[in-house]
Amino acid sequence: MTVGLLIALGLLAGVVAGFFGVGGGVLFVPALTLVVGMGVVEAEATSLLAIIPVAAVGALNQRRYGNVAERDAVVLGLLAIPGALAGVVLVNVVPEHVARIGFVLLTLFVAWRLALSGLAERAEINAGSGR
């Protein structure tokens, strides 16, 4: 794995996280498995650690713009801790192909929901403009 590839992945993940608000795992996990050759569990664990500085910088900058619901963020963060602990235990018990399929299904589900939401929003805009 080259340093240049990691630099490119890091920069791209930062842009994606800042622009779309995703945790970087959407980019890191597939890139680390498909491009770098890591196993899914190793890529997920690496992504979780790597995203800490990206999320911190993004959240601090978004807070400056007044875009952070701090109470909600604290509740989500605190409740995510036991969930993350349970997820780590689970992913280390199931076969790796199950984790890979689960990640793919989650990604497809999120893409499907975002597409439906975007189409509905566009239909509302078109209906409001008389088109």
53 has pLDDT over 70: yes
Give residue 105's pLDDT band: very low, low, confident or very high (50, 70, 90).
Answer: very high
Give the helix/strand (H/E) hosting 117. helix 96-128
Give the helix/strand (H/E) hosting 124. helix 96-128
Higher pLDDT, 64 or 59: 64
Higher pLDDT, 66 or 51: 66
Tokens coding 107: 């990604």
pLDDT number for residue 20:
78
97 has pLDDT over 90: yes
> What pTM was estimated for this model as a whole?
0.71
Percent of the chain whose pLDDT exceeds 70: 95
Please give the mean pLDDT across all residues of the chain: 87
- Taking the C-alpha atoms of residue 117 and residue 107, their distance in angstroms, rounded to an integer, is 15
Higher pLDDT, 19 or 38: 38
